Amino acid sequence: MSDEFDSNEEYEFVESKMVVMVNHSDPDSIMAAIVMAAAGAATGEQVLMFFQPGAAKVLVKGELEKYQNIQGLPDPIKLYESITILDGRIILCELGLPNKGIKEEDLRDEVEVMMASSFLLEAEGANAVYCY
């Protein structure tokens, strides 16, 4: 076996998967999660963000805007948009709806609602998991 690169050999691109779990809605947790997810998406990771009930309200239209203009931090809306543009998935645990009194129609357009068990199947094979 040679260590030389064979330009005729076919290589299969394997996309790596990154999971960002979010269960807190304080600014430090939300911003850290969004920054990490955006960075992962920008480097080619398949990003899955899973918002548990503790962070569910952040996904309601108009709520993420409350995290804008935090000194020294990037705009969370631009980061969120970059995640979705780069095919990142924003998923809310379905328990967050009744637990926080949220109606599905009040969520941002890109948000998927999913059972935790279904999310675990989607997240299978993740190379990295970050929790905030």
- The average pLDDT across 59-70 equals 97
The CA distance from 68 to 77, in Å, is 8
Q: Angle at which helices 76-85 and 27-42 pack, to 10 degrees?
A: 40
Question: Hey, what CATH topology would domain 21-131 get?
Answer: Hypothetical Protein Ychn; Chain: A, (3.40.1260)
Note the pLDDT of residue 82.
Answer: 98
> How many whole angstroms separate alpha carbon 132 and alpha carbon 13?
30
β-strand partners of 49:
20, 90
Average pLDDT, the chain: 93
For the sheet with 128-131, list strands across it: 111-114, 89-93, 46-51, 17-22, 128-131
**Chain segment 69-101, per-residue pLDDT in tens:** 999 999 999 999 999 999 999 999 999 999 999
Q: Which residue has the tokens 């000194």?
A: 71
Name the helix (H) or strand (E) containing 128: strand 128-131
Q: What is the pTM of this model?
A: 0.88
**pLDDT class for 15, splitting at 50, 70, 90?**
confident
Cα 46 off chain centre by: 9
Has residue 61 got a pLDDT over 80? yes
Q: Where are the domains of the chain?
A: 21-131
